[in-house]
């Protein structure tokens, strides 16, 4: 009897004004977008809080004209992607950079140095599908970014946390310290003590030093910490019997376009 007066969850959801979200992929492996789907236990709860208008990985439909939140994975590598990012920024109230490629130019950024000589090393005639190429850069080098989900690939729950902050607001501050603090709190051994290079001493904290906990040195996928002291890090390498040049070379994997790495700042 009372069942006829009960409103379904879908009906209530439709009546609520949900934030309209689009997920866009630029130059990347799309792995960070896949990571979003790995929150099986919480995915329906997450999707229930938003109106997912467009997801490039899941649909070939055109992106809508209006939306509130733009989640951007990948580096900016063409004039077309640069224009796309600017358009997203103009239309969205909030822009989230998803993953290392969006945050630091990541893997595409490895090719940034002497970039325009590189296509000819791969192609005899550069395919038109490559578009009008530009030097790989992070999304934040083109437009202002409101939130960043770091790592390669991202941690699924870290994305959920950032999305919640974007939807509902938060006074939570971004991490600025280096990974070494996480290692000390975890009680893990330092790779430098055995003469092995680890980028945790200059990489921004926040992942809980997961790789180090598993016995693998940090490769810097979260990007350089604003508190990083590269001169002190090179000196630490010397004390550990590691060539300082090895540190600079290792930083190029995820920080090739960071001006701090080549002394421009």
| Cα dist from 154 to 37, 65, 189, whole Å | 12, 28, 24
Residue 26 pLDDT > 70? yes
For position 171, what pLDDT does the model report? 85
For position 18, what pLDDT does the model report? 94
Q: What is the dihedral of CA 106, 108, 111, 117, to 10 degrees?
A: -160
Query: Looking at per-residue confidence, does 143 or 14 come out higher?
Result: 143
Mean pLDDT in residue range 172-179: 88
For position 47, what pLDDT does the model report? 82
Q: Which residues in 219-241 are b (16+ Cβ under 10 Å) and which e?
A: bbbbbbbeebebeebbebbeebe
Percent of the chain beyond pLDDT 90? 68
d(CA 244, CA 254): 17
How many CA within 13 A on the CB side of residue 215?
0
Residue 4 pLDDT > 80? no
Residue 8 pLDDT > 70? no
Give per-residue pLDDT as tens, 108-128: 999 999 998 888 888 888 888
For position 126, what pLDDT does the model report? 84
Q: Who contacts 145 (Cβ-Cβ below 8 Å, separation ≥6)?
A: 95, 96, 97, 139
pLDDT averaged over every residue in the chain: 90
Give per-residue pLDDT as tens, 65-93: 999 999 999 999 999 999 999 999 999 99
Residue 229 pLDDT > 90? yes
| Nearest to 133, CA basis, from 86, 74, 77 | 77
Kindly state the tokens that stand for 156: 């699924």
Are 204 and 151 within 8 A, CB to CB? Answer: no
Confidence label for 53 from pLDDT (cuts 50, 70 and 90): very high
């Amino acid at each position: 009897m009372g069942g006829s007066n009960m409103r379904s969850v879908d009906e209530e959801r439709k009546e609520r004004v949900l934030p309209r979200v689009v997920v866009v992929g630029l130059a990347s492996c799309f792995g960070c977008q896949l990571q979003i789907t790995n929150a099986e236990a919480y995915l329906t709860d997450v999707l229930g809080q938003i109106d997912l208008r467009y997801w490039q990985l899941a649909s070939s439909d055109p992106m809508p004209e209006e939306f509130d939140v733009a989640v951007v994975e990948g580096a900016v590598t063409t004039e077309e992607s640069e224009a796309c990012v600017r358009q997203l920024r103009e239309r969205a109230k909030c822009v989230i950079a998803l993953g290392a490629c969006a945050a630091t130019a990541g893997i595409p950024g490895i090719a940034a140095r002497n970039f325009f000589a590189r296509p000819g090393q791969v192609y005899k005639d550069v395919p038109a599908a490559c578009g009008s190429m530009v030097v790989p850069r992070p999304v934040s080098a083109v437009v202002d970014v409101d939130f960043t989900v770091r790592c390669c690939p991202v941690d699924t729950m870290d994305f959920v946390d950032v999305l919640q902050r974007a939807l509902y607001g938060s006074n939570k501050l971004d991490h600025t310290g280096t990974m070494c603090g996480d290692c000390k709190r975890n009680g893990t051994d330092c790779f430098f003590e055995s003469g092995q290079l680890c980028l945790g001493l200059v990489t921004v904290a926040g992942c809980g030093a997961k790789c180090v906990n598993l016995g693998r040195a940090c490769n810097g996928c979260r990007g350089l910490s604003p508190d990083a002291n590269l001169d002190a890090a090179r000196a630490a390498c010397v004390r550990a019997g590691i060539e300082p040049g090895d540190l600079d070379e290792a930083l190029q994997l995820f920080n090739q376009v960071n001006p701090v790495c080549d002394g421009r700042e």
